[in-house]
Structure 1
Amino acid sequence: MLNAQNKILIITDAWHPQVNGVVILLSALVESLGRLGIDSQVIHPGLFPTLPLPKYPEIRLSLTPWRFRSHMAQDPSQQVHIATEGPLGLAARSYCSRREVPFTTAIHTKFPEYTNILFGTPISWGYGYLRWFHKPAQTTIVQSKHQADELTERGLAHLRVVGGGVDTQRFRPQDRESRDKPLLLYVGRVSREKNIEAFLNLAIDAKKAVVGDGPDRHRLQEAYPEVEFKGYRKGESLVHEYAQADCLVFTSKTDTFGLVLIEAMACGTPVASFPTTGPLDVIRPGVSGVMDSDLEEAVSQALLLDREVVRTESLNFSWESVARRFADIHRIEVSQGFD
């Protein structure tokens, strides 16, 4: 039966002012649901006292997550989606499970691999936690088919793919500056789990730029003085960085989708990556980018691609489609067109 109220409550430990793919995805999802006539309420760390996550001070976690219940009680009839597995997600899971409130969850990152790289935690422990956390959910939303296949092999069930999108009016080609060497670009968190040194160590005659920040920036900036570290970029400044680059180099082996891939493509910039979860579902080989276990080879071939064709390929990823798939999972009736 369809939910006539067209309301959904989203609980997330990742929200503004954090700058990462999860926040970008959830923000675009909330906006797109609104354009379909679906009202979203977001419970996030900014509503509570917080403390910084160790090694990631820009990420702040709720100190009093149990207080989210006052927000929950405002409209008990709305659909519930728990987007993250942190303190707020745990509190929401406990609340819903005790009161037999149906809910969905999502897996946005390779949490077990992240914690293994950063803290040495066995990967098996991480997947054990994910199986426990997501087991009571009606549906667990994932970002790509390859991610769903990997999680199924790890014992998770009731998985549905929603994916990611891009605003192709905002992210668009621009007039490009002339230069004597190709410009290679990395966009993302500057931290160990992103495997960024695979980009920094590329033996290619090109200029390199890093857009983003994180715990490893200071160390890497000193170790690679020839690379331009630009910090965070937002809005038109970020679009400019994408559009001026000759190739986006995506080094992560722990992402589940990679929104930066389609943002770059929308600006006409081809992408190069390893053949891993995320790129395997986003890149059309030889059309929008190149995947190869030899990253230098991937970059060399990506630089030859037609930027107009790359831009055209990005038009296959729309936030409207993402929002409609999300609404369908929650049996929410879409009351209007995407205006």
Structure 2
Amino acid sequence: MPKILIATDSFDQVNGVSTTYRNVLKFSHVETLIIHPGMFKWTTFRIYPEVQICTEPFKAYQKIKLIQPTHIHIGTEGPIGLAARIYCKIHNIPYTTGYHTKFAEYLWKLARIPCVLTYGYLKIFHNDSKAILTPSRSSKMELEQRGFNHVHVWTRGVSSELISQKKIVKHKNPRVLYVGRVSREKNLEVLCELQDKFDITIVGEGPRLKVYKKKYAKVNFLGYCFGRELADTYKTHDVFCFPSKTDTFGIVMIEALMNDLPVAAFKVTGPVDIVEQGKTGYLGNDLELNIRKCLKLDRKKISHYLKNRWSWKTCVDILHGHLLRS
């Protein structure tokens, strides 16, 4: 019988990577275990304080050896991922890898590390896997253009608890919502600069939270919201805004759409794979204009356009299909 191990450097945090692997564990019909930094001693670094960096990669390797998995999915490229990759190479274990984040662009924006160096490392890390799984078609195309091999689209889902039953209410002064990490790479300044034109709500925390709270006094910073509270927050706003230009996907966008909330974003990887222009939202270079166009959409129709497109069962089936096949 197969025994799958997921090796990830992100699991205890509130982000798309952690959400993905929690749901893989929940919906997998095959014995599936996980290894992550919270199981060992870990540290962090100043430019990205929420990230856990495992400082005991050898113990992580020993843990993998103790589990004796038949298949491994390596979710991230940090110390845990490296330990798992070395184990796979030594023991000839079939493995897949996940490409969730524009890591090179993040490191350039946060620490000015040249993208060419990071992409060189990423290609070495990923290219020997059975399949590189990335959440969007545009991300797949970008990776292939950069020389990555056997890249496949790995879809995502929305949990039923994140779909609100509240009625849609249109507000006189439009209420615009963002959910996600409050950090420099998310490009939130562009949205916050519109504080005099819309009632803006930001759900989430991160290293720029204190700075933005001080700078943008009219923006409502809620901190973290989860479950039904988050679902109702989606439903009680008029537009969801996703200003990031460095994400490979953006699970929060499909959560918003499933709550009949149109999405305004830039025309970049992630939004272009999720938003149907003029139906479920608007993409373009002018974020304010995209928001105003979204306000004219019929919200009662938005979730119907998705046609059961996103499900965690499908997500798990895709992973199993690539990882378990001979």
TM-score with structure 2 setting the length: 0.95
Following TM superposition, the consecutive aligned residue runs of length 4 or more in structure 1 with deviations greater than 4 angstroms are none
> Is 2:27 the counterpart of 1:32?
yes
Q: Quote the offset at 1:126 in angstroms.
A: 1.4
Q: Quote the offset at 1:204 in angstroms.
A: 6.5
> Is 2:18 the counterpart of 1:23?
yes
Q: Quote the offset at 1:116 in angstroms.
A: 0.3
Matches within 5 A, 1:85-164: 85-164=77-156
Unpaired runs of 5+ in structure 2?
A: none
Alignment-derived partner of residue 209 in structure 1: 201
Within the candidate set 177, 201, 220, 2:212 is matched to 220
Conserved? CA contact 1:190–1:217, under 8 Å: yes
> Is 2:305 the counterpart of 1:319?
no
Distance 1:321 1:9 in 2: 19
Q: Quote the offset at 1:97 in angstroms.
A: 1.7
Flag the 1:90–1:210 CA change in 2: closer, same or farther, 3 A: same
Distance 1:38 1:223 in 2: 49
Conserved? CA contact 1:163–1:257, under 8 Å: no
> Is 2:230 the counterpart of 1:238?
yes
The C-alpha deviation readout for 1:14-67, integer Å capped at 9, x for no partner, is 002x1111111111122121xxx2121000111101112323333221110221
**1:71 counterpart letter in structure 2:** K
**2:133 counterpart letter in structure 1:** I
Flag the 1:204–1:225 CA change in 2: closer, same or farther, 3 A: closer
Q: Quote the offset at 1:309 in angstroms.
A: 1.4
Matches within 5 A, 1:1-339: 5-16=1-12, 18-33=13-28, 37-168=29-160, 170-176=162-168, 179-202=171-194, 205-314=197-306, 315-331=308-324
Q: Quote the offset at 1:230 in angstroms.
A: 0.8
Conserved? CA contact 1:176–1:244, under 8 Å: yes
Unpaired runs of 5+ in structure 1?
A: 334-339
Q: Quote the offset at 1:153 in angstroms.
A: 0.8
**2:313 counterpart letter in structure 1:** E
Q: Quote the offset at 1:178 in angstroms.
A: 6.1
Kindly indicate whether structure 1 or structure 2 has the higher relative contact order, using CA contacts under 8 Å at least 6 residues apart. Answer: 1
**1:10 counterpart letter in structure 2:** I
**1:22 counterpart letter in structure 2:** V
Conserved? CA contact 2:249–2:270, under 8 Å: yes
Identity of aligned residues (%): 36
RMSD value, Cα: 1.7
Conserved? CA contact 2:48–2:207, under 8 Å: yes
**1:132 counterpart letter in structure 2:** I
Conserved? CA contact 2:261–2:302, under 8 Å: yes
Distance 2:55 2:223 in 1: 28
Q: How many residue pairs were aligned?
A: 325
The C-alpha deviation readout for 1:172-207, integer Å capped at 9, x for no partner, is 341355643110011111111100111111376320
Q: Quote the offset at 1:75 in angstroms.
A: 4.5
Conserved? CA contact 2:163–2:259, under 8 Å: yes
Alignment-derived partner of residue 337 in structure 1: none
